[in-house]
Structure 1
Amino acid sequence: MAKLSIIVPVYNAEKYIVNSLSSCVTQMHKDIELIVVNDGSKDNSLTLIHTFFAKEIASGLMKIIDQNNQGVSIARNNGIKVAKGEYVAFFDADDILLDQYITQITQVIDNHAPDIIEFGFCKFKELADISTDKGIFVNNEFGLQKTSDVLENVYARSVWYPWLRVFARRFVEQDMFPRGVRFCEDLMAISQLYNRTQNIYIIDKALYGYRDNVEGATFNVRTDYFDNLVTFYNSLPAINAKYLDYLKMNISYILYRCSTGKKISAEIRKEFRGLFLKYLFDKRISYRKKVILLSPKLYESLKYVKGLK
């Protein structure tokens, strides 16, 4: 059994794929497996992978899954199905793994065996930018923590990138990511996973390079994302928990972004207004999100006001 399985969904990534996979391959050893899931790419991504990484494929360090285009959720799920690692990590095909990624993570696995491992990341547009980036962290406390102690902070920050964490294999189900969902699938999957874990180890080092890519789904919101988000919102448990309120408030902002004329039900709008009043003075929630909770129309009229973020 491998110690760590790294799953890389690939769709039309020919511009970056060689550099991205190289950043992983140069750190790999026999206890690591790299699972590349080609999600029906129409460009030269798959050809480049076979050309530049033939040695790693032949040795079994890199596995290739070639499937028809089904979206990133199913691509990741199919990677999980063949993963042999004690831990599972995710890696996007236009990003890079920074130096010490594998070394730092395997050391934590060996020394602490936590349910989740988290680390910092750097944003970049060009590789040269990384050296000037100080790194971004979800949590300010490092080392081994109880999940319950960081839960509210994680939900308030609402940074759900799958590649920002490594998960013990026993917590990663074969259908971890919701099928047919192509936007906020990470929020839907990982926010649920946190409630099933006991501890998390937070590494005080940026280990991942996130390419600030305007072509990504984050910047190209479609109207059909709205219904999936409403369905997920309605599926949340009816319990009084602060972390869950934080999740709902962050979903309200995402719903606003992708509503494009669609209306949120009166029942949900009422709940949003109640959350606005309840968390009016909570510094963890931005002014922008608070105003959207109260009224998206009001936000539109005030969005250029100084200090509204």
Structure 2
Amino acid sequence: MRIRTSFVMPLYNGRQTVERAIKSVLAQDRNDWELLVVDDCSTDNSTGVVASLIAKEGNSRVRLIRQAHNGGPSAARNAGIAESVGEFVAFLDCDDELLPNYLATMEANMAEGVDIVVAAHVAQTPAGRRYPRPDSVQGLLTGLETVDRALQGKLWNFLHAKIYRRSLFEHFSFPNDLVRYEDLVVNSIAYSYSRHVRIVPTPVYVYHVQAQSLTWSQEPSMEFVEGPLNFVRNGLNPTLSSQVKSRSWNTLRTFLGVLTISGGLFAGSPKGSVDRIVQYVREDLSFRDLADVTVAAPHLGLSGMLIKVFPALYAKLYLWHVRRTFDMSK
């Protein structure tokens, strides 16, 4: 049978969750897929769990690829894409899972002239509570329209709950030397090379929120801000990069600063490292910039203004919000 969709799953020390993730692919109501599990030199028994499951299921569509060196999730995804044969590529993290309707929903919304389908995801808190998180815009957009919406915070930047024409990756790859926010970078660039993107409100993916995830566990650095910003600026399709709105760039700059500060606060990073990013927001983003951002993303623009004026108050409000939203006691 022809493989239509290739799932790429980076794996690093996911022994506790990888079986659940693989079984969520096996549970799809279509069988024209392949799953490439790319082990990034795990130090636990992750690969043993995967190999046992492959043997038990007897499913040749699940393949285990072993990296020779630990290169991080971007390198693992690039390796998976290189080995894939499907017309489409989708990404699954080893600690998450697909809903049973994933492929049916994506296939139903893919059409000629559409290069990416974006669906909603469900967030599951550590306490087991689930709630859907659709994107704030819906419908059929051009690639340029999608870039502006994404940079203005109207689309979730995650790789999950999306399906891409594999041919898009002929124009770019995952940046191996980027420390943070590679999802945002790759999605923005992929949108810029797309003819059209279809966005639908149907949840197809379960994102398991964990306090120890990379989103919240890395000590903040200006590299988290400057790296993604430069990769997006330099990686966008050159035929339309000059048409991206200034408001989009202002929103991206603000997003990177605010999210990096927020992650550092939740992780309990040293005050000096957080203060360096606070200084960036206070000095490099003017009130005019932030007012412009507020038009596109009110919560983001207001967060930036609060950081500029009362950073200690922002810290208290942010920590309260995260603990309440994600049922975290930390």
- TM-score > 0.5 by shorter chain: yes
* Distance (Å, rounded) in 2 between the aligned partners of 1:118 and 1:11: 26
Equivalent residue number for residue 190 of structure 1: 187
Alpha-carbon offset, residue 173 of structure 1: 4.1
In the alignment, which residue of structure 1 is the partner of 2:297?
284
Listed as ranges, the gaps of 5+ residues in structure 2 are 235-240, 265-272, 322-330
The whole-number CA distance in structure 2 between the counterparts of 1:122 and 1:98 is 9
Task: Show the counterpart of 2:103.
Answer: 102
In 2, the alpha carbon distance for the partners of 1:86 and 1:140 equals: 26
Matched, 1:117 2:130: no
How far the C-alpha of 1:227 sits from its partner, in A, is 1.7
Counterpart pick for 1:226 among 222, 228, 231:
222
Q: Does 1:275 align with 2:276?
A: no
- Pair 1:254-2:259 in alignment: yes
Name 1:23's counterpart in structure 2: 24
Displacement of 1:186 in angstroms is 1.1
1:244 aligned partner: 249
Equivalent position SS for 1:40? coil
Q: What TM-score, normalized by structure 1, do the two folds share?
A: 0.83
Amino acid in the other structure paired with 1:154? A
The equivalent of 2:325 in structure 1 is none
Quickly say closer, same or farther: Cα 1:25–1:12, change in 2 above 3 A.
same
Give 1:302 deviation, angstroms: 5.1
Give the superposed CA RMSD.
Answer: 3.1
- Other structure's SS at 1:188 match: helix
Letter in 2 for 1:3: R
Deviation at 1:33, TM superposition (A): 0.8
- Shift in Å at residue 22 of structure 1? 0.3
Instruction: Give per-residue Cα distances to partners, 1:121-140, cap 9 Å, x unaligned.
Output: 1111469644xx3x211134
Following superposition, the deviation at residue 254 of structure 1 comes to 2.8
Letter paired with 1:285: P
**Pairing 1:61-210 to 2, within 5 Å after superposition:** 61-67=61-67, 68-109=69-110, 111-112=111-112, 114-125=114-125, 129-130=129-130, 133=131, 135-142=132-139, 144-157=140-153, 159-173=156-170, 176-210=173-207
| Aligned positions of 1:24-39 closer than 5 A | 24-27=25-28, 29-39=30-40
Partner Cα distance (2:149, 2:83) in 1: 33
Q: How far does residue 182 in structure 1 lie from its aligned partner after superposition? A: 3.8
In 1: Cα distance, 2:228 partner to 2:279 partner: 14
Partner SS for 1:204: strand
Structure 1 equivalent of residue 268 of structure 2: none
Query: 1:90 is aligned with what amino acid?
Result: F
Partner of 2:237: none
* Deviation digits for residues 17-73 of structure 1 (CA, Å, limit 9, x no counterpart): 1111101112265521101011111111110111122255x6530111111321111
Structure 1: tracts of 5 or more residues without a match: none
Counterpart of 1:298, as a letter, is F
Q: How many residues align?
A: 299
**Cα distance, 1:268 vs structure 2:** 9.1
Identical amino acids, percent of aligned pairs: 20
Question: TM-score of the superposition, structure 2-length normalised?
Answer: 0.78
- Asked whether the equivalents of residues 139 and 153 of structure 1 are also in contact (C-alpha less than 8 Å), the reply is no
Q: Distance in 2 between matches of 1:189 and 1:53?
A: 30
Query: Residues 116 and 165 of structure 2 are in contact (CA less than 8 Å); yes or no, is this contact kept in structure 1?
Result: yes
Q: Distance in 1 between matches of 2:53 and 2:125?
A: 23
